[in-house]
Amino acid sequence: MPTTHDVSLMASLGLTSNITTASVDKTFYCQRGLENYDGSKPILVLIHGYPQTNFMWRHASTPRLKDLPANKLKLIPLLPSSIPIFIPDVPGYGRSAPLPGPHDKRSTGNSLLATLSSLLPSSSSPIPLILLGHDRGARISHRLAVDFSSSTLPTHLNFTIHGTILLDIVPTLVQWQSCISPLVNTGSFHWSFLANVELATTMILAQGGDNWVRMCLARWMGSSSAGREKFEEDGAVEVYAASFKQERVVRASCDDYRAGAMEDVREQVEDQREGRKVEGDVLVVYSKKYLGGRYDVRKIWEEWMGNGNLETLGLEGDVGHFLAEESPEETASAVREFYEKNA
């Protein structure tokens, strides 16, 4: 089981944590500003990726500065404390229970929004959200943004999406199509491996889920020594590694990838055929050297946009996949600017 180190650190940043028991989906989350939420500002929903937990967003919250030692002040980049935030562990990851059914992005996203809805007072008007997702969380965010644009969100989820921020992805269908390249396929070997749930679960547990996570993180971080040091602060690697000692986490995360090869791809093929696009504003932030070295990120995302405005930002230097942890100040600045324009 995970230790409580991560929960204590998030609490030191002014976040409240809990696990909802309102439905079959037991979802662990941190939040700020939801107790007396009045609908005046969009809730920023931060959704993590693989193989992580909501701890990856620790740099995104302004702490009570008086409670931090002076040598830690430089680590906190600066989303204003006035922004209400909801930071869940994705179903099956971290402390959140797996879904009873498939972990496709629509089911996962709707589950997260149902948890958020259970925390808020009833409202006659739709509650505004801005979605911020990294990696698998960005794929959940993309799915929700398309569903909202095409009015296919469940009617009991009384939300409106004011904008979507996607960190370091291209659309799932594009990712799979690019695997025809031996170079891309080699770098993304885990996509097809993890999608074979029983095989991958058995092999990862045999290696040790914690060892698997350490290997993955080392492969996907950038080559910047400063970025790697920033990522590793606060014992982050061991927080994520400890989580994957649990079979349920390994299995659910593999089912996430299985759905990414099946239901999610089928949905995106249908989206493109039927012209279902993201109609709201989108910001895509990516590693210019790594993701940007393989794809024309802006050109690709233009083909998935409707009438909304698309912004793209490639982070320079040797920043790798984990933008919010390797380059938190630059990522937070882009998020803050987008939020303020779309609030």
Could you report the per-residue pLDDT of 208-247, keeping only the tens digit for each? 999 999 999 999 999 999 999 999 999 999 999 999 999 9
Q: CA-to-CA distance for 272 and 278, rounded, in angstroms?
A: 11
Share of the chain above pLDDT 70, in %: 93
More confident residue, 26 or 75: 26
Q: CA-to-CA distance for 249 and 242, rounded, in angstroms?
A: 10
More confident residue, 162 or 1: 162
pLDDT of 23 over the 70 cut? no
Query: At 80, which helix (H) or strand (E)?
Result: none
Residue 3 pLDDT = 65
pLDDT of 323 over the 90 cut? yes
Query: At 311, which helix (H) or strand (E)?
Result: strand 310-315
pLDDT of 31 over the 70 cut? yes
248-259 in b/e burial notation, b at 16+ Cβ within 10 A? ebbbbbbbbbbb
Helices vs strands, H then E, count in the chain: 16, 8
Question: What is the average pLDDT across 281-292?
Answer: 98
Residue 151 pLDDT = 80
Return contacts of 302-309, CB within 8 angstroms, 24+ apart.
Answer: 303/272, 304/171, 304/272, 304/277, 304/278, 305/277, 305/278, 306/149, 306/277, 306/278, 306/279, 307/279, 308/278, 308/279, 308/280, 308/281, 308/282, 309/281, 309/282
Residue 24 pLDDT = 61
Q: What is the CATH number of the domain that holds 307?
A: 3.40.50.1820
CA dihedral 174, 175, 181, 187 (to 10 degrees): 160
Count how many domains the chain has: 1
> SS3 of 19, please?
strand
Question: What is the average pLDDT across 16-27?
Answer: 80
Tokens matching residue 148:
């909202």
Residue 98 pLDDT = 96
Residue 2 pLDDT = 53
Residue 245 pLDDT = 98
pLDDT of 26 over the 70 cut? yes
Residue 70 pLDDT = 40
Q: What is the mean pLDDT of the chain?
A: 92
Q: CA-to-CA distance for 56 and 237, rounded, in angstroms?
A: 10
Question: What is the average pLDDT across 10-32?
Answer: 85
Question: What is the average pLDDT across 182-196?
Answer: 94
Return contacts of 216-222, CB within 8 angstroms, 24+ apart.
Answer: 216/50, 216/51, 216/190, 217/51, 217/322, 220/320, 220/321, 220/322, 221/320, 221/321, 221/322, 221/326, 222/287, 222/289, 222/290, 222/317, 222/318, 222/319, 222/320, 222/321, 222/326
Reported as a pLDDT band with limits 50, 70 and 90, residue 72 is very low
Residue 196 pLDDT = 98
Query: Whats the size of the chain, residue-wise?
Result: 343
Residue 112 pLDDT = 96
- pLDDT (tens digit per residue) in 307-319: 999 999 999 999 9
- pLDDT (tens digit per residue) in 251-270: 999 999 999 999 999 999 99
The pTM for the full model equals 0.94
Min mean pLDDT across 11-15, 163-167, 192-196, 310-314 is at: 11-15
Amino acid residing at 211: N
Q: Left (φ > 0), alpha (ψ -120 to 50) or beta: where does 94 sit?
A: left
DSSP for 56-76, written as a single string = GGGGGS---GGGS-GGGGGG-
Q: Among the residues of 150-208, which ranges form H helices? A: 172-178, 182-187, 189-195, 197-207
Q: CA-to-CA distance for 270 and 341, rounded, in angstroms?
A: 31
Residue 275 pLDDT = 96
pLDDT of 71 over the 60 cut? no
Q: CA-to-CA distance for 260 and 254, rounded, in angstroms?
A: 10
Alpha carbon distances (Å) from 284 to 179, 259, 292, 314, 328: 21, 23, 11, 8, 15
Question: What is the average pLDDT across 63-90?
Answer: 64
Q: CA-to-CA distance for 274 and 66, rounded, in angstroms?
A: 54
- pLDDT (tens digit per residue) in 107-117: 999 999 999 99
**Domain that residue 326 falls in:** 5-342
pLDDT of 32 over the 50 cut? yes
Q: Do the Cβ atoms of 75 and 34 come closer than 8 Å?
A: no
Reported as a pLDDT band with limits 50, 70 and 90, residue 76 is very low
